[in-house]
Every structure is written in structure tokens, then in C-alpha cells.
Structure 1
């Protein structure tokens, strides 16, 4: 296993935990603590879903335009802030509940777009299939672990009563989000792949250069398509 892959897995673990530490209990909290009738919960989730569908396309465009890391930073900070807001929301009206939930869902879902871009770039091309499979397994592990972790913290004032300590789960979620932000700066793009006319498989710049040194009479295939391995793909202007 490559060190860069391990950093990507840790990044994914923190990212998913920052979401699923609070998401499974949002509906119960809105109903028990905020006074929102259960009949209105589909309205809240419906509006949030529509805005999320639109915002994902916008965030994808922003990622292509400005780079993955700047967009991810904005989304992760926004998601951490909204995690604290939604887990401390007092009794409120339906309109405010819709706005807060929609904002949280928008930034929480949106950060996945630039995160995926950074992780895929960190995977070695020859191991990308295995990397994707393991990354999915880590994501599912965090999806199950998050509710267990917060479920051990959250309680009820009395049976069927308001939830207690949900704000602690929100603080933990925000902490995992900040951890994911820190880990994102340790992700490094994998060596670029070039097409070697003398080889049946794609090669990296380093491999191609080694063979070229051993046979100086042959042209260097990678001279036509080489991309520096340390090229900053998160900053298109670089």
C-alpha cells in the first residue's frame, strides 16, 4: 500500500465521519427539539434535495474553474459551521428549519465533489481500480461508524422526549471536518502517465526516462506527452 493511498483513506474516513455523525439524527432532532411536525419533514428534505441537486453541478463547475482544494476548503468550512448551527437549533419555525437544513445539505454534499477529485489524482494509475475499491470500503466503514459514535453520545431527556448532547455530536462532526481539511494538504498527485511507443502499458515519466537513458539512439516517447509529476492540479493557473 502506498503512503499517499493511506493518506487518502484517512482523508475519506474523516470526511464521511464529519457527515454521518449527525445526519441520521437530524429528523429526530427537528421533531423533538425544534417543534417541527413530522408531516413537514418530507418538505424539508425535499427542498434540501432539490437545492443539493442544483448545487452539485455548480460546485463541480467551480472545481474545474478554480481547482479542487480552494473549493473544498470553502465547502468544508461551511459544512463545519452549519454542523454547529443545526445541532444547536432551538425551537423554530418551518421556514428557518428549511433554510438551515438546506444550507447544511448543500455544503455537506458539495464538499464531496472536490474531495473526490483530489483523491483520484492521488491514486497511482496502475492501482486505481484497487484504490477505488478500498476507498469505497473505507467510506462504508465510516458511514456505519458515525451513527454508532454519535448514538453513544446522544440521549433523551425522557422517553420520546427531546434529544440531549446532540451539540456534542455536532462539535465532533466539525472536528472531523477540520481534520479532513488538514489531511487534504498532505495528498499528493500521483506520477503522471505517458504513452510509451516501445511498451505495451502506460508508464510514468520516471520509468520512461530511465529506459531512454539506457538507449540514447531511440527517441524519448515521453518527451511528447510528459507532465511534471509535481504539477499543481488543484490550481489550474499554476
Structure 2
């Protein structure tokens, strides 16, 4: 139990999660369990995701509010519009999933020590990729992988996990292309999980967890 009186559940081998209303003020809901594709997929469908720094201490979260990006609201700057009209970058889909995950795990990020993409998380998402749910978008400059992103596709909601850039604007290129594709497919939104100034600059916004869950329940398979 946390200082606010919320009950943090210790998961067992049983494939269940507690009601998300039990999450702490920061969104922590449960500890333990495993990283099987079945459990991770169930978590996403319930509005829950794993996020931790140690494979021996798995944490499950469902924050309120939740940061999402509505595909039709993606912000494209003048410089990015110019880049999109050029042939500098090439986009591919699901051709280098492992490479994208590894790059997301290894790239250095300002203000962060290490990465939450642990060895266990990598292996878990490789398995989820094999099931067809975890997908990647890759950005190439000539024959070099210079950016990309990956996440979990629930059918009408795309749960973004991480993105990376080796060359300036490569991850923005991937996100804009993803948003445009999802808008054409009439997806409800991209789940960005938690707020960041970078995501906000691209059009991401916060909605209540209740609204987030309402969309999941009504829109996902």
C-alpha cells in the first residue's frame, strides 16, 4: 500500500490484473507476474503497461491522466513538411524490429541514466512481434538505419513504446508517417503513455484515464 492508501497488488502466475482504480496517484498498479506475450497483451487491452529498470522487479502502470496523440492532430512544422517532400529518408515497416528495439534501448537520452528497455523487455517484445502485435517503423538514409519506433498494435489503437534518432528528425519522420497511416485507417489514437515536452510539441495531449479506457473498450478487438 502506498502513502495515499492505494493498494499495490502482487501478481502471481494467474493471468489477471487488479482494477485500474486501485493504481496509486503516480499510476503504479501492480508488481510481479511475468512478461509473457499473453500477459503484456492483456495489460495493454486493460490500459496497463510495464515500465521498470530491473527484470527481477516488474512494475505495471496505469496513469491518470494518460498522454495520447490523435493522428489527425499531429503537428508538422514547416521544416518537417519540407523534409517530408524530399527523398532523404525512406520508411519501411516491420523489416528490422529487433534492430529498432536495440537502438531504442542503447541510445543515450538527456536526463536519463540507462534504459527501461531491459533484456527481459527486449525478449518479451520480440515474442510479441512474432505474434503480429508488436510492430516497428524504420527510417533509412541510404542503407543505414537512422531512426524508428516500435509499439503494440491493438487494431484501432497503437500503443507507442519507444523511438530513436541517429540523424536529426528521423524519429519525427517515423511518427508523422505513422500518424498519417493511422489517420487513414481511422485509428482512435496513439497511446504515448506519459507526458513529455517533445511529444507535446508534436501534438500529444492528456486525456483522463476514464476516457482512455472508454475508447479501448469500444474500439479495440
TM, length-normalised to structure 2? 0.24
Quick check: which one's strand share is greater?
2
TM, length-normalised to structure 1? 0.22
Query: Greater RCO between the two (CA within 8 Å, min separation 6)?
Result: 1
